[in-house]
A and B are shown apart, each in its own frame.
Chain A
Amino acid sequence: MRYILTLMNIGIGFSESKDQIQAVNAAITQAIVELKNLRPSIAIIFTTIEFANPLVLKTANYLLGEIPILGCSSLGIITNQGIFKHGFSILLISLDQQTFFNTALIKELNKIDPITNGKNLGEKLLYGCNNVHRSLSIIFSDGLTASTAGILNGIQEKLGRSFPLIGASASDNLTFKKTYQYFNKELCSESCSGMLFGGKFNFGIGIKHGWNPLGKMRCVTKSSGNVIQEIENRPAVKLYQDYLAKDTWELSKELKRVSIFYPIGINLPGEKEYLLRNVISIKDDGSLVTQGDVPENSKIRLMISTKDSCFAATASACHEAKKNLGNKKIKFVIIFDSALRFSLLGRQHVKELAITKDVFGADTPLIGIYTYGEQGSLNPINYLGRSYFHNQTISVLAVGDQ
């Protein structure tokens, strides 16, 4: 008797050619060659912001045939070869018959409330998957909408609170003007796309940030969505003024640096790690606008870190993903690394890639992006962790042999 085992295969392609059509062609060709001419089941596309145009997607769609395409724009592309600030990358996955998947997109996020948006996406992802074992969901959202945390809650209401999920909020070139999400031929903004894997799909997730709490714990006495109005019944900005001895004008001037170095950490009951929130602006009334929601009555502290603890967190996230995958052979690794970590690490950002390659092996196929927010659980061991919207973390997804 002869058995033919059709395992999952992947191919990764990247090009930094300035001619966009040439870049798409080169990257897809490279990925198809790596895939050894197997028919791809799904494509994940990551590009830098200048590649976010309909022609690029149209070309990719034309070259790949009618297979589902998901992805988003980013500040930079991470591959085995290095970190690139210009380019087009593609991950082609050829799945065996024991693994299935579904993809979905929700658009015009600002028109309805985030939770309903999340529920809609969850429902779409579950379409046709109600009676099968579901494994993992990957989502790509707009990095500049304040509602990603709400969308996440909505998805969780449909998929389950502790259902494994990893996601990335698209980024641009740190101008915070517009980010893009890719879904088949569509180039979208203010949207959220997702994919749901089911059947035999082995993976491991690791998410870490490397920040530690400093100073007294404080209570958010008044907040709404991603705006903290008062902390301990005082204007929220007083927290930073007290700790850094700077007035509002000075803080606004240095906000990016201050926010990256000293984000707000939300203490979550039952979680070991703090959930980080970056301050993106200071309102005239002293409210702090954060990247992600901060619920009222949250216990918060200011967080502090060093580059070394960031690198230690990177290593820890990689090891965790590897450990969670078990003894399966790693097929490929996807990294969602915070764009603000990239800013913080400055010229040393390449060290994160070196650490990742060190943990997974230099030849393990790897693809990743810099994000304006990462989604995943703080403690994803045994799929029991609840997924949150994070800032300044590195999320690692290691996918193994089926």
Chain B
Amino acid sequence: MLTLTLFFLCCTIAGLAIYLFIKMQRLKEADDKVTALSTSLEEMDEQAKLIMRTDIELNKAQEELDKKISGLNTLQKLSREMSTTLEEKQIFQKINKSHLEDLGFENAVAFLWKTLEREFQLCLNVGYSEAEILKIKSAVSINKDHYLELINHDRTISSTLIPADFLPKDKICELYLVCAFIICPILTQEGDQGFIFIGTSDNEIPITEGDRELIAVLANQIGQTLDNARLFEKTWRSQQELELKVEERTRQLTGALEEVKKISKRKSDFISSVSHEIRTPLTSIKGYAAILLAGKLGTLPEEMHSRLEKMNRHSDELVHMVNDLLDISRIESGKAEIKKENLNLKNITDKIADLFSEQLKNKNINFSSNIPDNCQEILADRNQIERVFINLVGNALKFTPQNGKIEIRASSINKITQIDVKDTGFGIPQDAQESIFEEFFRVDNTINQEVKGTGLGLALVKHIIEAHQGKIWVKSKVGEGSTFSFTLGATK
């Protein structure tokens, strides 16, 4: 019984020992777990510290970055808006409250130093009442030397960076009613320079280097736009001055032209009246000469007869000259009526050939006309245009030597008929070609010295062609011949 009791006791003790052992083991395991958890917690806490330290730096960087992005966007927007204007006053008007808020500010003023007036002039006011701005203007005026110093040394200052020689921060904040601010010079290549003040009453917003850079970029942009505006203004003024000068010159030239026209008219009137006065006694002289030559007053001695014939011939020449002068005068003064009608060019050239047939035959000159079918019809005054042909062909005949060639050609482009009278004559020197259509001009050559002429023929031709709204010109080479060309409107 005792043995059995002892056995049970031993078993119980052994069981208890085993239980205790297991319990201790578990406690140890639990303790290890607690230690491990505590270590993990400590480690996590250390990690949390690292996270927090990194986070605070990241927040700072993020804040600065956000500010820069927002600022740059605003600057880009402002720059685009400012570049649309070239007027100095409007440049500052582009800056509004919304732009300032995007840049993180609320108030702004800008002043430009007017060198002549020796004072700062307000150009921008955002966020200040009339009374506030008056106070600011007055303070800027009193402290102008400080602001000029900033401009001259291109110094940007802010509430966090104020040089010792500038106004104290508190004074600036009190004046501009802000807690933080930036003052930046507006520099230009030429003309008035100034400064921009930008501020906020939010004392939570610190002014960073980034803010200063942004406002400096804005001030620079304003400066460049001011330069562009001033350059434009200068160019525009120069153009205006130039236009005024051109206008004045045109007015003077118009006056001179009117004067020339008046003189020309007076000349035409004079020639016309003189010609008429000369023609009347000439008709009498010619009449009496004809009576004498016809022997109606008795037979004249041979010498007297030859002298009278000379008088009669010279009188004819004089009549011819007077008629030409009268014609020119009439055309110039617009008194000559141009009766345009459809004419056949071939008929006219045939008539001219017939008229000059004797002289052509005498000098053995080959006369030809080449008038294509599409140039047959012209619109002109018959008498006047015949005078043109008579003059041009007559001249060609006069200056073309024996066995030469005279050709009349016609061509048509865009309803304009061009007629060329070409000869193989002596030609006209280059320097005389421009003056050949002037009245009383005669080319200085041997033919002209031998053959008499009035010097009015080509001038008359020119007037007739111009009265037909045509043009006349000459191409000539000495020794090869000349081509006189003129244009007329065709009927078709």
- A interface vs B, CB < 8 Å? 18, 85, 173-175, 214-216, 242-245, 256-258, 261-262, 302, 304, 343, 346-348
CB distance from B287 to the nearest CB of A (A): 109
The answer to whether residues A245 and B53 also contact, given A216-B41, A347-B70 and a CB cut-off of 8 A, is yes
Decide yes or no: A304 and B51 within 8 Å by CB, A85-B201, A258-B56 being known contacts. yes
Which chain A residue lies CB-closest to B42?
A216
Contacts of B67 in A (CB 8 A): 346-347
Shortest B420–chain A CB gap in Å is 85
Roughly how many angstroms separate A173 CA and B203 CA in the complex, as a whole number?
Answer: 8
Of chain B, the residue at the smallest CB distance from A17 is: B129
Contacts of A348 in B (CB 8 A): 66
A214 and B104 within 8 A (CB): no
- How far is it, in angstroms, between the C-alpha of A201 and the C-alpha of B206 when the chains are bound? 45
Determine whether the beta carbon of A242 is less than 8 Å from that of B63.
no
* B303 sits at the interface (CB 8 A): no
Contact A242-B106, Cβ < 8 Å, known A174-B203, A175-B203, A304-B55: no
The minimal Cβ–Cβ distance linking B101 to chain A, given in whole angstroms, is: 8
A residues within 8 A CB of B49?
A: 215, 242-245
Given contacts A175-B203, A346-B63, 8 further A-B contacts (CB under 8 A): A173-B202, A174-B202, A215-B49, A243-B49, A243-B52, A244-B56, A302-B48, A347-B66
What is the CB-to-nearest-CB distance from A206 to chain B, in angstroms, rounded to a whole number?
Answer: 26
Residues from chain B with Cβ under 8 Å of A261 in the complex: 55-56, 59
Closest A residue to B49 by beta carbon equals: A243
B373 within 8 A of A: no
Contact A214 B51 (CB under 8 A): yes
B52:A214 contact, CB within 8 angstroms? yes
Nearest neighbor of B58 in chain A, beta-carbon distance: A306
- 10 smallest beta-carbon distances between A and B, as pairs: A215-B48, A216-B45, A214-B48, A343-B204, A243-B52, A243-B49, A18-B129, A215-B45, A174-B204, A347-B70
Residue of A nearest to B200 (CB): A85
Chain A residues positioned under 8 Å from B52 (CB to CB): 214-215, 243-244, 262, 302, 304
Of A18, A215, A256, A348, most buried by chain B (CB within 10 Å of CB) is: A215
Tell me the complex Cα distance, A216–B44, Å. 8
Q: Kindly report which residue of chain A lies nearest to residue B51, judged by CB atoms.
A: A214
Q: Tell me, rounded to whole Å, the shortest Cβ–Cβ distance linking A315 to chain B.
A: 20
Per the bound structure, the CA–CA distance linking A347 and B44 in Å amounts to 34
CA separation between A348 and B44, bound complex, in Å?
A: 32
A346 in contact with B56 (CB, 8 Å): no
B195-210: CB near A (< 8 Å → 1, else 0) gives 0000001111100000
**Does the CB pair B106–A85 fall under 8 Å?**
yes
Residue of A nearest to B45 (CB): A216
Does A243 contact B104, Cβ atoms closer than 8 Å? no
Binary contact readout B159-196 vs A (1 if CB under 8 angstroms, 0 otherwise): 00000000000000000000000000000000000000
Greatest chain A CB density within 10 A among B45, B51, B102 is at B45
Min CB–CB distance A84 → chain B (angstroms)? 11
Task: Please give me the residue from chain A that is nearest to B201 by CB atom.
Answer: A173
- Nearest CB to that of A216 among chain B residues? B45
Task: List the A residue with the shortest CB-CB distance to B102.
Answer: A347
Q: Complex formed: what's the CA distance from A276 to B113 in Å?
A: 53
A351 to chain B minimum Cβ distance, whole angstroms, is: 12
B34-68 with Cβ < 8 A to chain A: 41-42, 44-45, 48-49, 51-53, 55-56, 59, 63, 66-67
Which chain B positions have C-beta within 8 A of A242? 49
- Give 18 pairs: A residue, B residue, CB < 8 Å, sorted on A: A18-B129, A85-B106, A173-B201, A174-B202, A174-B203, A215-B49, A216-B45, A243-B49, A244-B49, A245-B53, A257-B56, A261-B55, A262-B52, A346-B67, A347-B66, A347-B70, A347-B102, A347-B104
Q: Which residues B66-102 have CB closer than 8 A to chain A?
A: 66-67, 70, 102
When distances are taken between beta carbons in the complex, the residues of chain B under 8 Å from A173 are 201-203
**Nearest chain-B residue to A76 (Cβ)?**
B202
Q: Residues of B contacting A343 with CB < 8 Å?
A: 204
Q: A378 to chain B: closest CB distance in Å? A: 23
A244 touches B53 (CB 8 A): yes
A67 to B51 CA separation, bound complex (whole angstroms): 54
With the chains together, A261 CA to B51 CA distance in Å?
13
Beta-carbon contact of B203 and A346 below 8 Å:
no
List chain A residues, Cβ under 8 A from B104. 346-347
In whole Å, how far is A55's beta carbon from the nearest beta carbon of chain B? Answer: 17
Q: How far is the CA of A262 from the CA of B56 in the complex (A)?
A: 9
- Chain B positions within 8 Å of A304 at CB level: 51-52, 55
Contact of B48 among A85, A175, A243, A258 (CB under 8 A): A243
CA distance A26 to B268 in the complex (A): 86
CB distance from B372 to the nearest CB of A (A): 85
From B106, B129, B202, B204, A256 is in contact (CB under 8 Å) with: B204
Residue of B nearest to A176 (CB): B203
Q: Are B66 and A216 in contact (CB-based, < 8 A)?
A: no
B204 partner residues in chain A, CB cutoff 8 A: 174, 256, 343
Alpha-carbon distance between A207 and B51 when the two chains are bound, in angstroms: 27
Selected from B53, B70, B102, the residue in CB contact (under 8 A) with A243 is B53
A77 to chain B, nearest CB (A): 15
Task: Give the shortest distance, in Å, between A340 (CB) and chain B (any CB).
Answer: 9
Chain B, residue nearest A242 (CB): B49
Measured between beta carbons, the chain B residues less than 8 angstroms from A262 are 52, 56
Q: Which residues of A contact B102 (CB under 8 A)?
A: 347
Task: A126 to B56: give the CA distance in the assembly, Å.
Answer: 47
Q: How far is the CB of B100 from chain A (nearest CB, A)?
A: 12
A304 to B51 Cα, complex, angstroms = 10
Closest partner residue, chain B, to A260 (CB atom): B204
* CB of B210 to closest CB in A, whole Å: 13
A258 and B41 CA atoms in complex are apart in Å by: 24
Task: Return the CB mask of B95-132 against A: 1 if under 8 Å, else 0.
Answer: 00000001010100000000000000000000001000
Report B53 CB to chain A, min CB distance, Å.
6
Q: Contacts of A258 on B, CB cut-off 8 Å? A: 56
Closest to A261 in B: B59
